[in-house]
Amino acid sequence: MLDTSPTPQTQPARIRQRYTVDGDVALEAHLDAVCARVCEGVKRIIARPRLHGILLGGGYGRGEGGVLRTGEGDRPYNDLEFYVFVRGSAFLAERRHRAALHELGHALEAFAGVEVEFKIVSRRLLQRSGTTMFFHDLVCGHRTVLGAGDLLEGCAHHAAADHIPLHETTRLLMNRCSGLLFAAERLQRSEFTGEDADFVARNTAKAQLALGDALLAAHGMYHSSARVRGMRLGRLPAMPGIPNIATIVHLHREGVAFKLQPVRSGERREALRERHAKVSALAKEVFLWVESLRLEREFSSPRGYAESRGDKCPETPKWRNSLVNLRSLGLAGLWQTPLRHPRRRLLNALALLLWEPAVFADPKISACLASELLNPVPDIVSAVAAYAPLWHRFQ
């Protein structure tokens, strides 16, 4: 059973806002207790004058957290994402407190039952930042764990969905399609475990959700609530280049259902492979459509996209790109197109690995892939091993 006993000297506050749509009382109280422990732990790490407040973001902060039904009651399923607001420089606070907050999150995981993540931000940082999907979700849907109501003062511009730039849509697709890539590698393993099945099912469902979300974002109709997005998706106009909109709407509905009530997959590999292939094929259509719209250039195939020489991250300053390349990739990062953001490597490599069947058989495509990943990659295992560290840095 979940341990819902109060932490020392702290009684869980009366629930005023739900973490889930339909989780049981014990789960809601458990999440309340987790927030209380988070509050105590963060206050021990960051002195109160510097600590401005704490917000819970993600699905649980928006009241749409996943509910895993078990024989012992409801349990949390998704990560818990806490945003620690500091006064002064968020950059300096990150350098000073990142390790301690990471240790706190790790220590709380056994009690919480899921991963606990911390991100350090400041009101000033959000005020000065351009609109992003990341900050849009936080500003529009969160739960205050610590602090007054002024944490997001002056941050209303993040709530404007029609201000989310197209490169944010590309980033969403890159991340969810990367999940499809990692799932594809697991589907090819000689031994396929129950953990692999759950990983494939989870990442396929996330991609299903992202396909509809990307179309909404491209039309300025994105919303922080997955349920609202589901309703809006049915109102999208017909789009040349996306002939399977009805299928995408259906898959999005399934993705919302999985998000709210996830299950541990017990499906066989072949069934998972079939659904993964269907979602990946639709993801190719949406990805190329979004990129053609964003970069104002027609891309008819993943190979054509990967081999195109245009700048795929024109929103990033060239002087900063050179510093990012040098700091993250060393001299190898400066050898090719040093003034372009290294995220372009991920975009090109992803298009080839996920959607080009001849990627390891055609020498020209293999050479292109090796150039992007800065390593020879003769098979899917070595390719994912080279791709994953780049993704973690630049996602």
Q: What is the 3-state secondary structure (H, E, C) of 332-393?
A: HHHHCCCCCCCHHHHHHHHHHHHHCCCCCCCHHHHHHHHHHHCCCCCCHHHHHHHHHHHHHH
Assign 3-state DSSP to the chain and report helix, strand, coil percentages, each to 5. 60, 10, 35
Q: With b meaning 16 or more CB within 10 Å and e meaning fewer, what string describes 129-146?
A: eebbbbbbbbbbbbbbbb
Cα-atom radius of gyration of the chain, to the nearest Å? 22
For the chain, give every domain's residue range: 25-159, 164-299, 309-395
Q: Cβ–Cβ contacts within 10 Å for residue 189, how many? A: 12
Q: Cβ contacts of residue 164 below 8 Å, gap of 6+?
A: 131, 132, 133, 136, 217, 220, 222
Q: pLDDT (tens digit, 0 to 9) for every residue of the chain, 395 residues total?
A: 444 344 434 334 444 689 999 999 999 999 999 999 999 999 999 998 999 999 999 999 999 999 999 999 999 999 999 999 999 999 999 999 999 999 999 999 999 999 999 999 999 999 999 999 999 999 999 999 999 888 999 999 999 999 999 999 999 999 999 999 999 999 999 999 999 999 999 999 999 999 999 999 999 999 999 999 999 998 887 777 787 889 999 999 999 999 999 999 889 999 999 999 999 999 999 999 999 999 999 998 999 999 998 889 888 767 676 777 676 766 666 556 666 778 888 999 999 999 999 899 899 999 999 988 888 899 999 999 999 998 998 88
Q: Does domain 25-159 have CATH number 3.90.1150.10?
A: no
Read off the amino acid at residue 55.
L
For the entire predicted model, the pTM comes to: 0.88
- The pair phi, psi for residue 279, each rounded to 5°, is -70, -40
Determine the Cα–Cα distance for residues 62 and 221; give it in Å rounded to an integer. Answer: 18
Which three-class secondary structure state does DSSP give residue 119?
A: strand
